[in-house]
Amino acid sequence: MEQLRHALASRPVIDQARGVLMALHSCTSDEAWHVLREASQLSNTKLRAVAAAVAAGADCDGPPPPPGIRVALRTALGRLRR
């Protein structure tokens, strides 16, 4: 039950991050999902934390993602374009 609550709470931030990636990188929703998932795996960071970093960084004065997540996102986005 707790896992379900956590999944429901995480969903909005993941959807926001997908929207940010779609807008900034002209990718589909599925491609954005794969980028988030791959960045999570590459950085050994929870998917929700990666999504929160992407969403927070979308604000004009928002902080950039931490270095490990930033590198993982760059790698995942690079693979998307191949």
pLDDT tens digits along 43-60: 999 999 999 999 999 888
Q: Where are the alpha helices (DSSP H) in 1-82?
A: 2-25, 29-43, 47-57, 67-80
What would the two tokens of residue 64 be?
């950039």
* Pair 53, 65: CB distance under 8 Å: yes
Model's pTM, two decimal places?
0.86
Closest CA to 80 of 44, 26, 41, 6: 26
- What average pLDDT does the structure give for the chain? 90
* Domain limits, the chain: 2-80
Separation of CA 15 from chain center: 9
Q: Is residue 2 very low, low, confident or very high in pLDDT (cuts 50, 70, 90)?
A: confident
